[in-house]
Amino acid sequence: DIQMTQSPSSLSASVGDRVTITCRASQSISNYLNWYQQRPGKAPKLLMFAASNFQSGVPSRFSGRGSGTDFTLTIASLQPEDFATYYCQQSYSLPHTFGQGTKLEIK
């Protein structure tokens, strides 16, 4: 299985801050990397696919980069609705695997 490791596991930040979450794969996954946002008690929501492509309706303050084994999700200016948990997920090979999540909290 491909292991996905996110850092940090949690992050405290303020509205308006710029934050970056990192995801590392245990082997190269090309750009087969997705990002999801999960709010408490809700299902995950697709934010970005293929490392850097926006899902429809996702604000432009979100951006994704990377290929191979190292990927980042950046939120340019945090809004109150962005405080949630973020997961990366690889679709390069089965079984699909997720990172352990990064919980973004209000400072």
Partner 1 sequence: QVQLQESGPGLVKPSQTLSLTCTVSGGSISRGGYYWSWIRQRPGKGLEWIGYINYSESTNYNPSLQSRISISVNTSESQFSLKLNSVTAADTAVYFCARDTPVRGGSTFDPWGQGTLVTVSS
Secondary structure letter of residue 80 according to DSSP: G
If the CB atoms of residues 49 and 83 are measured against partner 1, the closer one turns out to be 49
Q: How far is the CB of 38 from partner 1 (least distance, A)?
A: 8
Sites for partner 1 among residues 8-37 (CB under 8 A): 30-34, 36
Candidates 18-26, 57-65, 73-81, 95-103; binding stretch for partner 1 (CB under 8 A): 95-103
- E strands, the chain, are 4-7, 10-13, 19-25, 33-38, 45-49, 53-54, 62-67, 70-75, 85-90, 97-98, 102-106
> Cα–Cα distance between 42 and 88 in angstroms, integer?
17
The neighbouring-strand residues paired with 49 are 53
Q: How far is the CB of 49 from partner 1 (least distance, A)?
A: 5
Q: Applying CB under 8 A, which of residues 25, 49, 64, 83 lies at the interface with partner 1?
A: 49
> Which residue ranges make up the site for partner 1 (CB under 8 A)?
1, 30-34, 36, 42-46, 49-51, 53, 55, 87, 89-92, 94-101
